[in-house]
Amino acid sequence: MQRAYAAKASGASEAEFPLRARRGSVRWPGPPYVWLLIPAVLVLLVFFVLPLLTMIRYSLYTHVAGGMMQPVLTFDNFQHFFQQELYRRVLAKTLLNALITTLLALLLGYPVAYVIARGHPLVSRILLIAVISPLLVGIVIRSYGWLVLLNRQGLVNQALQALGVITSPVRLTGNDVGVIISLLHVFYPFMVLPLASVLQKIERPLEEAAMVLGANRLQVFYRVILPLSIPGIAAGSLVVFLLAAGSFVTPRLIGKNLTKWLLGLVEEQVLTVFNWPFGAAMAVIFIAVVLLLVAVYGRLLESKFAFVLKGKAS
């Protein structure tokens, strides 16, 4: 205060003094943004890192009769998982179904994202609202809705019979087909929105230059638009794959316990069999395999489309 008063008396402005002089003698160590990250880091540590470490620790414990476990470290839980064909097959089926859901979401979502990014403003707004509006409804409610639509007397079977595709109702619940259809509807917006965002940023002069050089519209799409939209494809496919592979509610409701996904087996081991170490080991294996697939996918994209990804990152 005395220095500020002296500055006013001498005709100098208070801004000429360092910020430290106006704030007093308190100095926060480090850049200011570091302190802003502390709440987020604490939340991640408490609600993500610590539970994950606890699960890894439980996966190494020994299961005893009566649903108890002893803190005796062992790798028998992991060995038992890979020795049983059932668990390996369910893991492979879960990842395959998640991959099918991702591919269908990409094939069906790319044209919609293109129209949202390049179409008439009114049409783009209508499609955007149609894509986002299902997110306003919970996953459980949407899954129950598909449970009604996919039964033998549901709207899907009636529509297929009216079009002449089938002659009698088919079973679309209690199998992987119904689960994939439901997951596709649930996670479809997470594919369309990243794609539309990337497609909207592609500069039109690049397409015009390709057409001036003699390329037709199909060649412009495959040589210019599709490669430049790889960041959106990568982001959308990763999100949809991870969410579909880690789904629990939709496979449980639509599958009706007639088709098994890995997280359903984890739930059975923990809440029905009370074998917490083996359930934790299954979850750890699932996380490790998914992270490995994501790393391989990212590596392949970097090797094939490094110039596009680096350009977008910069």
pLDDT at res. 106: 96
Q: Is 66 among the domain residues?
A: no
Is 182 a residue whose pLDDT tops 60?
Answer: yes
User: 42 vs 5, which has greater pLDDT?
Assistant: 42
**Lowest model confidence (mean pLDDT) among 60-64, 211-215, 285-289:** 211-215
How does pLDDT run across 61-82, given as a tens digit for each residue?
Answer: 998 877 778 888 899 999 999 9
Higher pLDDT, 119 or 7: 119
Residue 39 forms part of a structural domain: no
The answer to whether 179 and 143 have CB atoms below 8 angstroms apart is: no
**Minimal CA–CA distance to 192: which of 141, 236, 251?**
236
In a domain, 37, yes or no: no
Tokens of 4: 């500020």
Q: At what angle do helices 276-304 and 85-118 cross, to 10 degrees?
A: 40
Q: So what's the pLDDT on residue 94? A: 95
User: How many domains does the chain fold into?
Assistant: 1
Summarize the confidence of residues 132-140 as an average pLDDT.
89
pLDDT band per the 50, 70, 90 thresholds, residue 95: very high
User: Is residue 6's pLDDT more than 70?
Assistant: no
Highest mean pLDDT among 29-38, 151-160, 302-311: 151-160
User: Tell me, what CATH number does 96's domain have?
Assistant: 1.10.3720.10
Domain that holds residue 212: 87-313
Q: Is residue 77 part of a domain?
A: no
Task: Tell which residue, 295, 292, 285, 239, has the closest CA to residue 262.
Answer: 285
Of the candidates 199, 191, 185, 188, the one whose C-alpha atom is nearest the C-alpha of residue 116 is: 199
Residue 107 predicted with pLDDT over 90: yes
